[in-house]
Each structure stands twice: as C-alpha cells, then as structure tokens.
Amino acid sequence: MPKMKNKSSAKKRFSFTATGKVRANQANKQHGMIKRTNKQIRNQRGTTILETPDAKMIKHYLPNR
C-alpha cells in the first residue's frame, strides 16, 4: 500500500493544539478593512479553533499528524 500523504495546502494553513483541536487563521481579514467596524477587526485578530465538522475534514487532509 502506498504512503499516505498530507495535503500541502492544508499543512500551510492549519495547525493543531496540544489537545488535538484544529487552529486556523481568522477568515475575512485579507483586505477591505476600511469597510469593517473596529469591533469586527478587533475580534478577528489572531487565530480561531475550528468547529467539529470542519476539523474532521482537516484531519482527513493531514493523516500523519
């Protein structure tokens, strides 16, 4: 049976916490900040923990983690 490979794009975009949850960058933060409220910009700093259905899909992309 061939080796199971990771998705290269997923490797670059997602990381795991010590408890196995999936961490990702906040969405909607690439451009157009002038249109957004200060509250929205403030709340979108840093990273976020993905919800369970999304995390399950990402774990499928990264079998060797």
pTM: 0.80
Tell me the CATH architecture of domain 8-61: Irregular (4.10)
Tell me the domain boundaries of the chain: 8-61
31 SS3 class: coil
- Count, residues in the chain: 65
Strands 22-25 and 47-49: antiparallel
What DSSP designation does 65 have? -
CA–CA distances in Å: residue 12 to residues 20, 21, 43, 63: 17, 16, 23, 15
Residue range 35-64: mean pLDDT, rounded: 94
- pLDDT, tens digit, 9 for 90 and up, residues 2-32: 889 999 999 999 999 999 999 999 999 889 8
